[in-house]
């Protein structure tokens, strides 16, 4: 079964299109997990316990796992998410060539989908795209201000660079396993990309801490009901808002806040589904 | 002292602009290191022993270290290269936003320079660029055929995308720590980029296994004598050409071939310096 079919089933089961970003910033981990053998894994496990009912997907960003303990924490996290029947999308934004790209693609043995960077072109993404059962989300329009530096450049034969990337990704979608990353901070861009590629599911980041538009994310992000709207810090660090926040020994209070934040985002998004 | 000043000193000391790519593909490691505790580190150590006299720089590609043992092997490798007075450029091609980019940039605590992907724009690269003493090589024109998919797109206000990236990188070079990655497989592109940004050192991949043009790499890749021409497989797996190749127990024969390949490339490039 392909990734997007599995994701469709998960979306139905959880009644949710929420992607929970697992970005366990070492500087923000709460006292409750600081003494664990692998604090990032201890943190993620509790976040998964608190949020899995509301999660269509978990999205660990590879940046937070790039050391020896980090890869152990990531592997445990993936296994635990799978134990809760939630697929895992590794937000790695990889892009390299030849034998190096093939090496990067081996991480797809462990996770269900990945984000990739299109700057090196179609052949650089083949080792990912050829894994028919795995999802490949191509960066298209990102939610940061500097995203415009390259992505909004106007092309000589019409359109903007990110629109061309959307069209290329559509052409690369031989196996029905390609999605796009399109930020929610520019709703009109979401709409424009959706019109040009009606069939590609989007991963829409930027709805939580970055303040993007939830209605536009749902209206344009889903393709035939399938797509993901991500929040990372807005969910996993919601516990910082409870009394005593990070310092509390009360794990239930801290991680309960994450569970409520995931539930609330699910409900907010479901208003528009 | 900034990265490019240190690199200039190393180029003078080794009389070499050779970057040795440390891509220890697990499927190609020789019998001599297969039983080591950390085979990639055991392999890299012997490669460094054999090649360091001829190396201006070592360039491990992050793809080959993306697991728990891999990061241990990478850390040992970096320390060992530094012990031989050779700087280390991590070929990571990273690009991400906000707190995630900051997290990726922490790897610069350990290495001397990094490659980054420009697709997410200038703000995504700030956490790297702001490390004034570290080198930041921005992907510009890559050596793979698909590199043309995006990089050769013609822009409405003139020029091609990779030329715009070169100009942007030049503008991002506030601290004198920016270089470009420009492949050697298209010498006329090397020349065009060099004309537009006379001051940025290039990292030129593709001269070894990929068959790029050594003369053009040296003529256009160096800025005031500073730059790097990389070979990975052409050096580190040169031992596969000796009798018995990978199967031999004769470490000296296997790794000696790598040393000779590095020396030969150094001499070939020095003809044009």
Q: Quick one: pLDDT band at residue A212, thresholds 50, 70, 90? A: confident
- Please write the tens of the pLDDT for every residue from A138-160: 999 998 999 999 999 999 999 99
Q: Which residue has the higher pLDDT, A122 or A213?
A: A122
Give mean pLDDT, residues A250-266: 95
pLDDT of residue B168: 98
The helix (H) or strand (E) run that includes residue A228 is: strand A228-231
Q: Which residue from A88, A83, A93, A17 is spatially nearest to A59, judged by alpha carbons?
A: A88
For residue B120, give the chain A residue with the closest CA.
Answer: A147
Maximum mean pLDDT: which of A208-212, A251-255, B114-118? B114-118
Residues of chain B found within 8 Å of residue A72, distances taken between Cβ atoms: 68
Question: What pLDDT does residue B207 have?
Answer: 82
Give the model's pLDDT for residue A81. Answer: 98
Give me the residue from B72, B95, B145 closest to A93, CB to CB. B95
Q: A-chain residues within 8 Å CB-CB of B143?
A: 97
Looking at the partner chain, which of A61, A75, A104 has a beta carbon nearest the beta carbon of B63?
A: A104
Pull the structure tokens for residue A271: 């208003």
**Residue-level pLDDT at B209:** 61
Instruction: Identify the domain containing residue A56 by its residue range.
Output: 3-270
Nearest chain A Cα distance for residue B13, angstroms: 30
Q: Say yes or no for a CB contact (<8 Å) between B117 and A93.
A: yes
Nearest to B7 by CA among B157, B202, B196, B167: B202
Contact: A103, B64; criterion CB under 8 Å: yes
Phi/psi for B180 (5° steps) reads -125, 150
Q: Is A112 helix (H, G, I), strand (E, B) or coil?
A: coil
Structure-model confidence comparison of residues A48 and B209, the more confident one:
A48
pLDDT of residue A195: 96
Give the domain CATH number at B12: 3.20.20.70
Residues of A in contact with B67 (CB under 8 A): 71
Q: Does A63 contact B104 at a Cβ distance shorter than 8 Å?
A: yes
Mean pLDDT over the full length of chain A: 95
CA-CA distance, B105 to B96, in Å (whole number)?
A: 10
Sequence-separated (6 or more) residues with CB below 8 Å from residue B107: A66, B90, B92, B114
Q: What is the pLDDT of residue B7?
A: 98
- Under the phi-then-psi rule, with left for phi > 0, alpha for psi from -120 to 50, and beta for the rest, what region is A137? beta
Assess whether pLDDT exceeds 70 at residue A64: yes
pLDDT at res. B246: 81
Contact A25 B63 (CB under 8 A): no
Nearest to A120 among B142, B153, B156 (CB): B142
Candidates B72, B121, B150; nearest CB to A68: B72
Q: Is the pLDDT of residue A53 over 80?
A: yes
Q: How many DSSP H helices and E strands does chain B contain?
A: 12, 8
Is the CB of A99 less than 8 angstroms away from the CB of B151?
Answer: no
Residue A47: which pLDDT band, with cuts at 50, 70 and 90?
very high
In this predicted structure, the answer to whether residue A176 has a pLDDT above a threshold of 90 is yes
Determine the residue of chain B that is closest to A70 in CA distance.
Answer: B68
- Return all residues near A159 (Cβ < 8 A) that are at least 6 apart: none
Q: Which residues of A touch B146 (CB under 8 A)?
A: 97, 120-124
Per-residue confidence (pLDDT) for residue A184, from 0 to 100: 82
Q: How many other CB atoms are found less than 10 A from the CB of residue B128?
A: 28
Q: Is the pTM of this model over 0.95?
A: yes
What pLDDT is stored for residue B116 in this prediction?
Answer: 98
Chain B positions touching A151 (Cβ under 8 A) are: 119, 121
Nearest to A147 among B120, B147, B161 (CB): B120
Q: Residue A54's pLDDT is what? A: 98
CA distance B180 to chain A (A): 14
Which residues in chain A have their CB less than 8 angstroms from residue B38's CB? none
Q: Is the pLDDT of residue A256 over 90?
A: yes
Calculate how close chain B gets to A96, using CA atoms only, in Å. Answer: 7
The alpha carbon of residue A138 is apart from the nearest alpha carbon of chain B, in Å, by 12
**Inter-chain touch A23–B100, beta carbons under 8 Å:** yes
Closest-approach residue (CA) in chain B for A141: B120
Among A103, A149, A155, beta carbon nearest to B154: A155
Question: Which residues of B are catalytic, by number?
Answer: 93
The token pair at B242 is 């000796």
Average pLDDT per run of 10 along chain B, which is 273 residues long?
97 98 96 92 98 98 95 97 98 95 95 98 98 98 94 97 98 98 88 96 84 88 97 96 82 95 96 93
With CB atoms and an 8 Å threshold, state whether A97 touches B144. Answer: yes
CA distance A272 to chain B (A): 28
Question: Any catalytic annotation for residue A93?
Answer: yes
**C-alpha pair distances (Å), B106 with each of A26, A235, B128, B174, B238:** 12, 24, 9, 20, 33
Domain total of chain A: 1
HEC string for A130-189 = CCCCCEEEEEEECCCHHHHHHHCCEECCCCEHHHHHHHHHHHHCCCCCEEEEECCCCHHH
Number of other CB atoms surrounding residue B155 within 10 Å: 15
Residue B164: partners with Cβ closer than 8 Å, 6 or more residues away: A150, A153, B155
Angstrom CA distances, A106 to A94, A115, B100, stand at 12, 14, 22
CA dist., res. A216 & res. A222, Å (int) = 10
Residue B249: the pLDDT is: 77
Q: How far is B98 from chain A (nearest CA, A)?
A: 8
Contacts of A93 in chain B (CB under 8 A): 94-96, 117, 120
Looking at residue A249, its pLDDT comes to 77
């Amino acid at each position: 079964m392909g990734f997007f079919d599995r994701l469709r089933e998960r979306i139905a089961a959880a009644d949710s299109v929420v992607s929970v970003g697992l970005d366990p910033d070492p500087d923000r981990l709460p006292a409750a997990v600081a003494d664990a053998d692998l604090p990032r894994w201890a943190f993620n496990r509790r976040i998964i316990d608190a949020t899995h009912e509301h999660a269509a997907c978990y999205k660990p960003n590879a940046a937070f796992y790039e050391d020896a303990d980090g890869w152990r924490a990531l592997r445990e996290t993936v296994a635990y998410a799978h134990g809760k029947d939630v697929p895992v999308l590794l937000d790695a934004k990889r892009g390299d060539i030849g034998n190096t790209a093939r090496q990067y693609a081996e991480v797809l043995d462990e996770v269900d989908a990945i984000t990739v960077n299109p700057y090196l072109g179609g052949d650089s993404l083949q080792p990912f795209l050829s894994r028919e059962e795995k999802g490949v989300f191509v960066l298209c329009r990102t939610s940061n201000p500097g995203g415009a530096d390259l992505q909004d450049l106007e092309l000589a034969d019409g359109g903007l660079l990110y629109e061309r990337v959307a069209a290329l990704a559509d052409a690369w979608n031989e196996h029905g396993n390609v999605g796009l990353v399109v930020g929610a901070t520019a709703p009109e861009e979401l709409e424009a990309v959706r019109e040009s590629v009606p069939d590609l599911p989007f991963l829409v980041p930027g709805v939580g801490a970055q303040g993007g538009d939830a209605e536009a994310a749902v209206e344009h992000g889903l393709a035939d009901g399938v797509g993901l709207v991500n929040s990372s810090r807005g969910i996993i660090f919601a516990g910082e808002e409870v009394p005593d926040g990070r310092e509390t020994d009360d794990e239930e209070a801290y991680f309960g806040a994450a569970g409520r934040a995931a539930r609330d985002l699910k409900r907010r998004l479901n208003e528009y589904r």
